[in-house]
Amino acid sequence: MADDKEVEKTIAEDLVVTKYKLAGQIVNRVLEQVIAKCVPDASVREICEFGDKLLLDETSKVFKKEKDSKKGIAFSTCVSVNNCICHFSPIPSESDYVLKLGDLAKIDLGAHIDGFIAVVAHTVAVGGGEVSGRAADVLLAAHHASEAALRLLRPGNENYAITDVAQKISAEYGCKPIEGMLSHQLKQFRIDGEKSIIQNPTEAQRKEHEKATFETYEVYAMDVLISTGEGVGREMDTRCTIYKKTDEIYQLKLKASRMFYSEVRNKHGSMPFNLRSFDKETSARLGVVECVNHKLIEPFQVLYERPGELVAQFKFTVLLLPSGTHRITGLPFDKAQCNTERTIKDPELNALLNSSTKSNKKKKKKAGAEEPMEVETAA
């Protein structure tokens, strides 16, 4: 596979930039269509299935002449509602969730072209209209934290600058980032590169998590998850459906496990995958157990905050190019929909948020709307 090649392909190559941007355009289009499906009485399972089908359809239409090029889903569509933090993407045998008016729904998905990954996440209030109270607080906290992160994702800056700013902005809205969540550097066929940005680390996590400096030609998936509660994720009864192959080696004993693992390697490689992508769900559920027990495959657990709390998420993919920082995924967020008495009072935070994300000409935009999906910041 391409990730085994000695020479690592980076965005120093124009073709690689093109593939990233094309993947970014696809996930933005799919995200818009998935959001349109997030209405009262809609099935989350059906929305997730719809999103994954779109991702496969859209990626199949590009780079057809590169016959050896792999492309498709880089992260299966998830719709995590209210206090569910992440990775809710139920398969047919698992419990569904039906959306209700006023639910806070986090949509998370990704695509890749030739292993070059673009991911995105966006939070919407089901049914639209004005959002008030704690829902408005957490939405604004997550939005502003992601906008601050965008302005700090520049060559020469350190990862902990983003960690600290996300913490401060959340506090202004009486919220907390989800503890220990990581935003990873992206590489070809690798969704969890070496460098990462940690949210709300414990003392132990802060000691273990390495400091890193951003550099030109790097790519990051900036993921901001903010809670109205303690900010601590916990597993409940919801079964995991999304997994990823590791680099571990083990001789599997069960035939079902060997068949499952062989299909994972051939069909998904090192990309995350959903059990729903396998023809025989029962066989996949059986095969995954031994693989996980021996660390050949790692799970993306479905995590929850305490009942009654709310979690908001914004995620975007960013390219650190010599011409500036290019955000290639993400949709505009209308701050005017949020009604809360809380505001950011810290002058340093306001100065950061009011600083330009562009290095050149400005475009007119609607009141309350944010920058378009691709922005440039001076390096």
Assigned domain for 290 exists: yes
Q: The domain spanning residue 103 has which CATH number? A: 3.90.230.10
Assigned domain for 108 exists: yes
Tell me: do 103 and 199 sit in the same domain.
Answer: yes
Which pLDDT score is estimated for 271?
95
Q: The domain spanning residue 271 has which CATH number? A: 1.10.10.10
Helix axes 133-152, 347-354, angle to 10 degrees: 70
Tell me: do 140 and 41 sit in the same domain.
Answer: yes
Q: How does pLDDT run along the chain (379 residues), one tens digit per residue?
A: 444 446 899 999 999 999 999 999 999 999 999 999 999 999 999 999 999 999 999 999 998 777 777 999 999 999 999 999 999 999 998 999 999 999 999 999 999 999 999 999 999 999 988 999 999 999 999 999 999 999 999 999 999 999 999 999 999 999 999 999 999 999 999 999 999 999 999 999 999 999 999 999 999 999 999 999 999 999 999 999 999 999 999 999 999 999 999 999 999 999 999 999 998 888 898 999 999 999 999 999 999 999 999 999 999 999 999 999 999 999 999 999 999 999 999 999 999 999 987 754 444 444 444 444 444 433 3
Tell me: do 131 and 260 sit in the same domain.
Answer: no
Last residue of a domain, one of 263, 281, 300: 300
User: By residue range, what is the domain housing residue 103?
Assistant: 14-240+303-353
User: Cα(152)–Cα(183) distance, rounded to whole angstroms?
Assistant: 14
What is the domain count for the chain? 2
Give the alpha-carbon dihedral of 371, 216, 155, 162, to 10 degrees.
Answer: 60
C-beta atoms surrounding 175 within 10 Å: 26
As to burial, measured by CB atoms within 10 angstroms (0-12 exposed, 13-18 middle, 19+ buried), residue 5 is: exposed
Q: Are 211 and 160 in contact (CB under 8 A)?
A: yes
pTM of the model: 0.91
Last residue of a domain, one of 284, 300, 316: 300
Q: Are 371 and 328 in contact (CB under 8 A)?
A: no
Q: Are 126 and 310 in contact (CB under 8 A)?
A: no
User: Cα(49)–Cα(231) distance, rounded to whole angstroms?
Assistant: 29
C-beta atoms surrounding 160 within 10 Å: 15
Assigned domain for 39 exists: yes
Which pLDDT score is estimated for 359?
52
Tokens of residue 369, six digits:
């709307």
Assigned domain for 162 exists: yes
Assigned domain for 322 exists: yes
Helix (H), strand (E) at residue 207? helix 203-208
Which pLDDT score is estimated for 369?
43
